[in-house]
Structure 1
Amino acid sequence: MGATELILIRHGESAGNVAATHAQRTGAEVVDVGLRDPDVPLSAGGEAQAAALGTWLGGLPPEERPDSVWCSPYLRARQTAELAGLTPFRVDERLRDRELGILDMLTSRGVQARYPEEARRKQWLGKFAYRPPGGESWADVALRLRSLLRDLDDAEDGRSVAVICHDAVIMLLRYVCEGLLEADLLDIAAANSVRNGSVTRLLRPAGTGFWDLAAFNSVDHLARGGAPVTEHAGDENVHPR
């Protein structure tokens, strides 16, 4: 037996999200944040999203609220948990964002200009299989998430668990929990970007086996709470070609 519900929450909009979108739009090669990725905080909009998330959760009947909270160690995820009132929470490094290695802080234009061979390799292999030097592929992230889910099931038998993490992690938790194929996952990723502060729910009443998707990328609670709805899409070229 194990957990019966996962409430997957992407952290609120971060200063890095804002800087990355600005860099892409202006044709810059580097995302100018000035901080390590784990240390990037929420933007003002992200703080409002976390507060709206907390208002929504606080308005749920007690039996529908999560029994426990697991959180990425990254500052933007921990701030989201704290501002939403999702405390105490358990920090687990396996929920960290995907490591980008030598491509960290580069826009797609920056990768093409500075590492053209890597840009070609990335296109050829696709997002699931491509591993940048010093970084992780999506398959690598899925492997650490399989380990995390085993420990989560042991600790959270019969319980509902909120998981505050990152867009790629949410996609790959769906991949593992729903038993998707690579092609299924890439089709979902090509058509959707996980929005800041969004909620994805997976259900498994028996506490064993694959999970069923009950909601994906929902942001209704943000609009109701007066928070902005933000979408900072990543690389749109996800399929191998």
Structure 2
Amino acid sequence: MEQLQWLGVIRHGQSTGNVIAQDAETGGLEAIDIPERDADVPLSGTGRDQAGAVGSWVGELKPDERPQVAIVSPYLRARQTAELALAGTGIPAVVDERLRDRELGVLDLLTGRGVQARLPAEFARRARLGKFYYRPPGGESWADVLLRLRALLRELRDDHPGGRVLLFGHEATVLLVRYLAESLDEAELMAVAHATAVANCSISTWRREGELMRPELFNSVAHLHREGAPHTRQEDVNAEPV
């Protein structure tokens, strides 16, 4: 069966929650005070500028290099990013809940300091199991997220043989799509995660060569610099505290 020819993934632009979460972490707070539920957190003004810069990048692609379809996380910040980036391109966008961010359960809206202070047993269990397999009560492990991403990519392969697909998701989406596209193991994924600060509205792409997906870009922010959009790297609202 024919595989995807090209796959891209874009992390959403800076959100208002990113700003609040970053301030809470740097301020030494235990909790992150965000009024909206995670699914409803919007882009900040900076995030909207970043999404516009992605739109310029898409517009510069040759017609035969453009994505044929975009698949978008249902979370507002990702949908807004896709809407701004794809405006006027004619590229259809489909929302798929399997691209939602990782669910953190009892760790949601806690900083790293907060997890250690309020849930010391979970802090210790996470340290013992590691990020890949640790599942917080009521939440998901990275392995759980991979199950839904595998199912999504399998459907995309079947529905768009030889096609070009662009995903709009979250920080974990970028890292875990790389894990799948490049057939990494746990240790290789963790090495990438520890070394990589996934930027808001960064672009990562892979192109098929024979049986393999070869990386073209990873966590690229050249388009942001070119368009004068701020380059930011902040944790997703419910990204796992470190």
Smaller-chain TM-score range?
A: over 0.9
- Cα shift at 1:2: 2.5
- Cα shift at 1:210: 3.9
The superposition leaves residues 115-168 of structure 1 with CA deviations (integer Å, 9 ceiling, x where unpaired) of 000001111111101100000000111111111111111111111111000110
Counting aligned pairs with the same residue, the percent is 53
Tell me which residue corresponds to 1:38.
39
Moved over 4 A (4+): 233-237
Tell me which residue corresponds to 1:230.
232
Give me the whole-angstrom Cα distance separating, in 2, the residues matched to 1:153 and 1:59: 25
- Cα shift at 1:113: 1.2
Equivalence map 1:87-98=2 (5 Å): 87-98=91-102
- SS for the counterpart of 2:200 is coil
Q: TM-score, normalised by structure 2?
A: 0.93
In the alignment, structure 1 residue 200 sits paired with structure 2 residue 201? no
Does the 8 Å CA contact 1:179/1:210 hold for their aligned counterparts?
no
The superposition leaves residues 19-66 of structure 1 with CA deviations (integer Å, 9 ceiling, x where unpaired) of 110000111111111111111000110000001110121122212211
Tell me which residue corresponds to 1:67.
68
Give me the whole-angstrom Cα distance separating, in 2, the residues matched to 1:161 and 1:82: 16
Give me the whole-angstrom Cα distance separating, in 2, the residues matched to 1:133 and 1:212: 36
Q: TM-score, normalised by structure 1?
A: 0.94
Give me the whole-angstrom Cα distance separating, in 2, the residues matched to 1:59 and 1:229: 20
Tell me which residue corresponds to 2:188.
184
- SS for the counterpart of 1:35 is coil
Unaligned 5+ residue runs, structure 1?
A: none
Tell me which residue corresponds to 2:28.
27
